[in-house]
Each structure stands twice: as structure tokens, then as C-alpha cells.
């Protein structure tokens, strides 16, 4: 019996010895997990903060940088600083009025400056803004209208220089917008038509109104590019056609007749012929391509004449502005103004950051040169970076493993709970079935007896039971030794053939390598770090002292201000109190004087004095003091006269430490004295 108890105590002691370290190990693992998760969160938060700040700075300066890049592109093709300033101003005005990005408008000035030779400084902004205006009015793009403007200037350069480049492009924008409206075309079609015509029509003396009206009508049936090709072919055969048709296309001064007059002459010449003969004669006179243009214009001479007249009346870009405004939403204009404002702020921020970034670039250059001169330190820094990344990976893997273990434990608990619940349900079912046929008390008694019997058998045969378990354990160990001896090498080979084994070993060796590298690097750079810290430590101390000095000075000023306010308030309050006390004292002195005079009057004075005495006695006999005892009950003390001498009941009461808290004093009198009488009585008794 004694041996069994000792063995039981041994088992319990072993459990106590192992449960403590295991619990501590589990607690340490949980603590390490919390530290790792906290560090990971803080590191992620710091990285996110730095990234967010950098992103915010980039976004804040992006508009200004885009504008500076656009201006730099235009400057690269020969634009002067004066032209660039005027270009930016024109782009800002356009974006504020019609919306859009002013940097994109400035960027289109690159094509203008590249396509037009000899463009004046003040005209660059006007040409660029006019191209953007035409794109807005004609539902086109700045690329197309910019190309169109360049083509038109090269064709009509003499006219542009004659009336002024800015004025000419203003008229061109208005005429082009009117042509787009009249002929239901766009800037792309007009550009293709004028590109194919080239300067041939201009050389022959046809101005921009004649050419634009003719091409506008022709492109309605054959497209812009074909219209330009057909018109160029037609005018190229004018000399041949005049001989073939026996006509003259010039006036008395030798200038070319207007296009509608030329078409009218040709129409009258071949109008009486059959259709087939007309086509044959026109093909012979103008060629197949030129004849297409002539026949296309036969029935549209009045429209051509009217169109030329309307285009000649356009002197500015007002019609284009009206069309652009109709296509501009209020929100577009607002966002355009907002974009211009933000661009200006961003440019200011870039200007402020420029010296800082330049200084930072110099520092980076010096650091680069220093690292090139000290490759060992560079290698160490790289190893530190790798180590940090490796440690971060290790922490992340540790957290993942801990969370996976927790998930597995949760799953095990769930399955155990389900298993227990299933077994409990099965047992409950059997018990319910047994309860239908047998008395449950019998089973309970039987179970108790059986449990006692099992315990008794365990105590009696403890040695045999433990011997059986010992024999089983020895058998198991023998089998294990035999199995390892037979299959140990095979198991080892299988284990080392698994990829996970190599991965685990690689991770362990990697961690060892990283740790040894970090240790070596710390020994290498720790003197340098210590000297660096000693060098910059006075700077931090000076900053701390300066901060404390500034804060202390500000706090002293704040406290001094509020102290002055407090003293001023109390001075004003004391002054008001003195005035009030003086006035009240003067009033009561006058009342006292009047009372004295009234009491000296015959008969009336005696009655007043007698009444006053009665009021005084009644007041003294009916004073009730109500309050509350310390235990919460109400108390009352009536009367003000007492014959109790000190040391008697008074002493007893004082010894009992019975405290009465007075809450209010009520004066019960049917004829209460007036305020003046009470004040008079107070003065007399005092």
C-alpha cells in the first residue's frame, strides 16, 4: 500500500515538475509571438507612413513637375524664356475658361514650335491656345488641330506675316470653326484637304476663303484628302482647259476669277452637251481627277459663292469661342480653374524643394563616392539589409507557424468537442432506452460498486499491473531497437531525400550565417557608430535644451498672462464690492436716522417703540433651527434661551459627539418686522 502511494506521489511530482517548464515555454512562445506581431505591425505602419508621405509629396508636386517638363520640351526646340512665359499664361487662361490640363496645352506648343519656322515669341502662346480652342470647338484633338495650324501657316505664311501672326491665327481659328459648322466637317478633314492641295492654289492667287469654301463643299462628297487632290488636279489643268474650252479664267487685270465664276464659265461652255459628252470633254480638259472636282461643283456655285462671302466676314475667333463654350460644362471650367491653381501651388512647392533636393543629391554623391572607396563597408551594409530582410521573413514565418498551430489546435478542439458530443448523445440514447425497461437506481448503485471494486483491485494488484506495463514498455523498446537497427539507415536516407529536410537545414544554416554576419558587422562598425554618436550627441542635447527653453518661455508668458487677467478681475470685483458696501451702508444709516426720529415723536413714537419691542420678543421666542443629524435623521432646536450652565447637560452632550448640521433657519411670526426694523435692531444690540 505504501509502495503504491509512493509511486502515485512520484507520478504526481513528475507531472508538477514538467507542467511548470512546459507552461513557461508555452508562455514564452506566446510572448514571442506577441512581440513579433507588434513589431511587424509597427514596421508595416512605419513603412506605410513613409510610403504615404513620399506618395503625397510626389502627388503634391506632380502638376508643377508636369508643367516644367512641358515647358522644357518646348524650350528644347528653340523657344525663348519670354515665349515660354506667354505660352504658360495662354494655357492657364484657356484651361480656366474651357477646362482641361494646361500642361497638355503647353506640350502641344512643342509641335507648333517645331512645325513653324520664324514664329515670334508672342505668337507661340496664341498659336497653341488657338489650336486648343479649335479642337474644343470642332470636337477634335490638340494633335490634329496643331498639325492643321502648322500646315495652314506654311501655306499662307506671307499673309500671316503681313497682317501679324497672332491676328492671322485668330482669324484662321474663326474661319475654320465656321467651315466646320457650315460643311459638317472637322479639323482632321480640313487638314488632309489643305495638305494635299499644298500651296498651288495660293500661288494661283486664291485666298484662304476661296480655298476653304471650295474644299469644304468637295469634302462633303469625296472626303478631305480626295477633295484636296481633286482641287489641285483641277487647278493644275487650268491652262490646258482654257485652250481646250476656249475660255479665259482671268479678269481684265490678269488675276484669276473667283472659283464660282470659273465654274459658271465652264458650266455654260459644256452645259448644252449630253452628259457623256460633258464628261468626255471635261476629262480631256482637266484630266480625270480634275474633272471630278468640276462636275462636283457644277450645281453648287451659289452655295460656293455664299460660303466664300460668309468666311470673308470672319475677322476673329469669336465664333470658335462660342462653339467651345457650348461644349464646355460648368464642372469642366471649375476643374480647369482648380487645376491651374494647384499647378501654381505645385510649382511653388517645386521651387522650394529644388535647393533641398540639390543638396540631397550632393550628399548622395558623396555617400556613393565614400562607399566606392570603402567596399568592405558597402558589403557590410548590404549584408545588414539582407539580414533585416531575412529577420523580417523569419518573424513572418514564425507568426504564420504560430497561427497555423493555433488553427490546428482549434480544429482539434472542435473535432474533440464533436466526438464528445457524439459519444454523449450515444450514451444518452442508451441510457434513455435502458431507463424505459430498468430502474435507474439499480444501475447507479451497480456503477458505484463496480468503480469501488476497480479501485480496490488496482490497489491490491498494483505491482502486477505495473509489471505488465513495464513488460510492455520493454517489449516496445526492444522492437524499436530492432527496427532502428534494421531500417535506421533506410529511414535516414528517406528523411534526407525529403525536400523539407533540406529546406529546414538551409533555413537553420541561413539564420546561423546571418547571425554570425551581423555579429561580425557589429564588431566592425560599432567603434565607428560609437564615434559618430559621440560626434552628433551634442547636437541632440543642444536641440533638447533649445526646445525646453522655448517651451519654458512660452509657458511663463502664458501663465503670466492668465495671472494678470486674474488680478485684473479681482481688482474690478473689489472695486465694485467697495462701491456696493458704501452705498448699502449709507442707505441703512439713513433708515436708522429716520427710525430714531420717529421714536422721538409724542404718542406715535411710543407706539412704534412698543410695537418694536413686541416684535423683538416674538422673534426671539419663535426661532426654529432645523437641520440634519449625522445619521440622516432630521433634528430641530427651538428657542434661543437656555438655563443650562456649562459643565452639566452641555458637557454630556459634548461628550457624546452628537453633531447637528444646520441646514436652514426659519423665523415663525405672524407679524414679521420689516428689513429696516431688523437692521435697526441689529445696530442697537451691537
Q: Is 249 helix (H, G, I), strand (E, B) or coil?
A: coil
Model confidence at 485, pLDDT cuts 50, 70, 90, reads low
Model pLDDT, residue 669: 47
Cβ neighbours of residue 99 closer than 8 Å, sequence gap 6 or more? 328, 329, 332, 333, 335, 336
Lowest-confidence region among 232-236, 352-356, 471-475, 604-608: 604-608
Q: Rounded mean pLDDT of 330-347?
A: 86
Q: Please check whether residue 139 is in contact with residue 185, taking contact to mean a CB–CB distance below 8 angstroms.
A: no
pLDDT band at 489 (very low <50, low <70, confident <90, very high): low
Percent of the chain whose pLDDT exceeds 90: 14
Q: How much is the pLDDT for 306?
A: 93
> Looking up cell 498494483, which residue turns up?
462
**Which residue in 77, 139, 138, 68 sits closest to 109, CA to CA?**
77
**Residue 283 scores a pLDDT above 60:** yes
Q: Sheet harboring 623-629: ordered strands across? A: 634-638, 623-629, 660-667
Q: How confident is the model at residue 328 (pLDDT cuts 50, 70, 90)?
A: confident
Q: What are phi and psi of 91, to 5 degrees?
A: -65, -40
Backbone angles phi, psi at 248, to 5 degrees: -125, 130
User: What per-residue string of b and e applies to 542-553 under the rule 16 or more CB within 10 Å gives b?
Assistant: eeeeeeeeeeee
Q: How far apart are CA 71 and CA 132, in angstroms?
A: 16
Between CA 94 and CA 128 the distance in angstroms is: 10
- pLDDT of res. 552: 81
Q: Chain centroid to CA 336: how far?
A: 21
* Phi, psi (degrees; rounded to nearest 5) at 631: -90, 5
For β-strands 660-667 and 623-629, DSSP reports them as antiparallel
Question: Please, is 229 exposed, middle or buried when counting C-beta atoms within 10 Å of its C-beta (0-12, 13-18, 19+)?
Answer: buried
DSSP state of 517: H
Alpha carbons 597 and 82: distance in angstroms, whole number:
102
What pLDDT, on a 0 to 100 scale, did the predictor assign at position 412?
Answer: 65
SS3 letters for 101-112? CHHHHHHHHHHH
The CA distance from 85 to 194, in Å, is 32
* Of 332 and 529, more confident: 332
pLDDT, average across residues 56-78: 83
Cβ partners under 8 Å of residue 230, min gap 6 = 218, 222, 289, 290, 292, 293, 296
DSSP 271: T
* pLDDT confidence of residue 7: 58
More confident residue, 617 or 256: 256
3-class DSSP state for residue 370? helix
Quote the distance between the C-alpha of residue 652 and its chain's center. Answer: 79
The DSSP code for 660 is E
Contact (CB, 8 A) for 86 and 128: no
42-56, 149-163, 336-350, 562-576, range with the lowest pLDDT? 42-56
DSSP 300: G
Question: Which grid cell is 335?
Answer: 476643374
pTM exceeds 0.75: no
Q: Which residue has the higher pLDDT, 641 or 519?
A: 519
Q: How many helices (H) and strands (E) does the chain have?
A: 24, 3
Angle made by CA atoms 600, 606, 612, in degrees to the nearest 5: 100
- Listing DSSP states for 417-431 in one string gives HHHHHHHHHHHHHHH
Checking if the pLDDT of 257 tops 80, the result is: yes
Using 50, 70 and 90 to split pLDDT, how confident is the model at 3? low
Mean pLDDT of the 206-225 span = 90
- Give one DSSP letter per residue of 430-494, joined into a string: HHHHHHHHS-HHHHHHHHHHHHHHHHHHHHHTHHHHHHHHHHHHHHHHHHHHHHHHHHHHHHHHH
Amino acid at each position: 500500500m505504501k509502495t503504491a502511494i509512493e509511486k502515485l506521489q512520484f507520478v504526481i511530482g513528475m507531472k508538477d515538475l514538467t507542467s511548470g517548464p512546459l507552461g513557461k515555454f508555452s508562455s514564452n512562445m506566446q510572448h514571442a509571438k506577441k512581440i513579433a506581431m507588434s513589431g511587424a505591425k509597427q514596421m508595416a505602419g512605419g513603412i506605410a507612413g513613409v510610403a504615404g508621405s513620399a506618395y503625397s509629396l510626389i502627388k503634391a508636386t506632380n502638376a508643377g513637375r508636369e508643367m516644367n517638363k512641358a515647358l522644357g520640351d518646348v524650350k528644347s526646340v528653340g523657344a525663348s524664356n519670354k515665349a515660354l512665359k506667354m505660352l504658360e499664361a495662354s494655357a492657364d487662361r484657356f484651361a480656366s475658361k474651357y477646362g482641361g490640363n494646361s500642361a497638355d496645352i503647353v506640350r502641344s506648343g512643342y509641335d507648333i514650335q517645331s512645325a513653324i519656322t520664324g514664329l515670334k515669341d508672342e505668337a507661340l502662346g496664341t498659336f497653341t491656345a488657338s489650336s486648343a480652342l479649335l479642337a474644343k470647338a470642332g470636337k477634335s484633338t490638340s494633335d490634329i488641330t496643331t498639325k492643321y495650324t502648322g500646315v495652314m501657316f506654311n501655306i499662307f505664311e506671307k499673309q500671316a506675316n503681313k497682317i501679324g501672326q497672332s491676328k492671322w491665327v485668330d482669324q484662321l481659328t474663326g474661319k475654320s470653326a465656321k467651315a466646320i459648322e457650315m460643311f459638317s466637317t472637322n479639323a482632321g478633314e480640313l487638314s488632309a484637304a489643305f495638305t494635299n492641295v499644298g500651296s498651288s492654289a495660293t500661288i494661283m492667287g486664291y485666298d484662304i476663303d476661296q480655298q476653304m469654301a471650295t474644299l469644304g463643299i468637295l469634302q462633303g462628297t469625296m472626303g478631305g484628302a480626295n477633295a484636296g487632290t481633286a482641287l489641285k488636279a483641277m487647278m493644275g489643268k487650268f491652262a490646258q482647259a482654257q485652250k481646250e474650252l476656249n475660255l479665259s479664267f482671268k479678269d481684265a487685270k490678269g488675276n484669276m476669277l473667283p472659283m464660282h465664276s470659273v465654274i459658271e464659265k465652264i458650266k455654260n461652255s459644256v452645259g448644252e452637251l449630253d452628259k457623256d459628252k460633258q464628261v468626255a470633254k471635261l476629262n480631256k480638259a482637266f484630266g480625270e481627277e480634275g474633272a471630278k472636282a468640276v462636275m462636283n461643283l457644277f450645281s453648287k456655285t451659289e452655295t460656293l459663292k455664299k460660303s466664300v462671302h460668309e468666311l470673308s466676314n470672319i475677322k476673329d475667333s469669336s465664333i470658335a469661342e462660342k462653339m467651345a463654350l457650348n461644349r464646355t460644362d460648368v464642372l469642366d471650367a471649375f476643374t480647369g480653374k482648380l487645376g491651374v491653381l494647384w499647378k501654381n501651388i505645385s510649382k511653388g512647392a517645386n521651387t522650394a524643394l529644388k535647393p533641398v533636393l540639390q543638396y540631397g543629391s550632393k550628399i548622395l554623391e558623396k555617400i556613393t563616392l565614400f562607399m566606392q572607396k570603402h567596399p568592405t563597408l558597402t558589403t557590410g551594409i548590404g549584408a545588414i539589409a539582407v539580414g533585416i530582410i531575412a529577420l523580417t521573413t523569419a518573424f513572418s514565418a514564425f507568426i504564420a507557424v504560430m497561427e497555423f498551430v493555433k488553427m490546428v489546435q482549434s480544429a482539434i478542439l472542435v473535432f474533440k468537442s464533436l466526438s464528445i458530443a457524439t459519444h454523449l448523445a450515444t450514451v444518452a440514447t442508451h441510457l434513455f432506452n435502458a431507463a424505459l425497461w430498468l430502474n435507474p437506481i439499480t444501475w447507479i448503485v451497480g456503477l458505484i460498486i463496480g468503480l469501488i471494486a476497480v479501485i480496490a483491485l488496482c490497489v491490491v494488484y498494483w505491482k502486477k499491473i505495473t509489471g505488465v506495463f513495464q513488460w510492455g514498455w520493454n517489449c516496445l523498446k526492444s522492437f524499436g531497437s530492432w527496427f532502428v537497427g534494421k531500417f535506421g539507415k533506410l529511414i535516414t536516407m528517406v528523411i534526407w531525400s525529403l525536400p523539407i529536410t533540406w529546406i529546414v537545414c538551409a533555413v537553420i544554416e541561413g539564420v546561423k550565417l546571418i547571425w554570425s554576419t551581423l555579429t561580425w558587422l557589429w564588431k566592425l562598425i560599432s567603434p565607428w557608430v560609437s564615434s559618430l554618436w559621440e560626434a552628433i550627441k551634442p547636437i541632440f542635447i543642444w536641440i533638447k535644451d533649445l526646445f525646453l527653453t522655448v517651451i519654458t518661455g512660452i509657458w511663463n508668458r502664458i501663465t503670466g498672462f492668465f495671472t494678470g487677467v486674474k488680478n485684473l478681475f479681482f481688482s474690478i470685483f473689489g472695486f465694485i464690492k467697495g462701491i456696493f458696501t458704501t452705498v448699502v451702508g449709507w442707505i441703512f444709516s439713513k433708515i436708522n436716522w429716520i427710525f430714531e426720529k420717529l421714536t422721538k415723536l409724542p404718542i406715535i413714537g411710543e407706539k412704534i417703540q412698543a410695537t418694536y419691542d413686541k416684535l423683538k420678543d416674538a422673534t426671539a421666542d419663535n426661532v426654529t433651527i432645523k437641520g440634519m443629524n449625522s445619521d440622516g435623521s432630521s433634528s430641530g432646536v427651538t428657542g434661543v434661551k437656555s438655563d443650562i450652565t456649562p459643565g452639566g447637560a452641555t458637557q454630556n452632550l459634548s461628550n457624546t459627539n452628537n453633531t447637528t448640521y444646520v441646514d436652514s433657519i426659519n423665523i415663525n411670526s405672524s407679524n414679521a418686522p420689516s428689513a429696516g426694523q431688523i437692521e435697526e435692531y441689529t445696530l442697537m444690540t451691537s
